[in-house]
Structure 1
Amino acid sequence: MLVVLFFSAFVSATLLPGSSEVVLLGLASQVPEQWLSLLVVATLGNTLGGLVTFAMGWGAFYFGNRHFSWLPNLNQQAKAKPCLVKYGAWSLLMSWAPVIGDALCFVAGAAKLPVWQSTIAMLIGKAIRYALLLALGNAVVNI
Structure 2
Amino acid sequence: MINELGYLALFAASFLAATVLPFSSEMVLSGMLVAGFDPYISLAVATTGNWLGGLSSYWIGWLGKWAWIEKYLKIKAEKIERLRQRIAGKEGWIAFFCWLPVIGDPIAVVLGLIKTRFIPTALWMLVGKAARYAVWGYLTLKGIELFG
Q: Residue 62 of structure 1: CA displacement? A: 5.0
How many percent of aligned residue pairs carry the same amino acid? 33
SS in 1 for 2:99: coil
Distance 2:137 2:71 in 1: 39
Which of residues 28, 39, 46 in structure 1 aligns to 2:43? 39
- In structure 2, the partner of 1:48 is 52
TM-score by length of 2: 0.80
Q: State the aligned residue count.
A: 133
Larger radius of gyration: 2
Unaligned 5+ residue runs, structure 1? none
Q: Residue 90 of structure 1: CA displacement? A: 2.2
Q: Residue 138 of structure 1: CA displacement? A: 1.0
Distance 2:139 2:67 in 1: 42
1:99 correspondence with 2:102? yes
Distance 1:68 1:30 in 2: 46
State whether residues 89 and 113 of structure 1, in contact with CA within 8 Å, keep that contact through their aligned partners in structure 2: no
**What is the RMSD computed on CA atoms of the aligned residues?**
2.5
Distance 2:21 2:72 in 1: 14
TM-score by length of 1: 0.83
State whether residues 91 and 117 of structure 2, in contact with CA within 8 Å, keep that contact through their aligned partners in structure 1: no
- In structure 1, the partner of 2:14 is 9
- In structure 2, the partner of 1:58 is 62
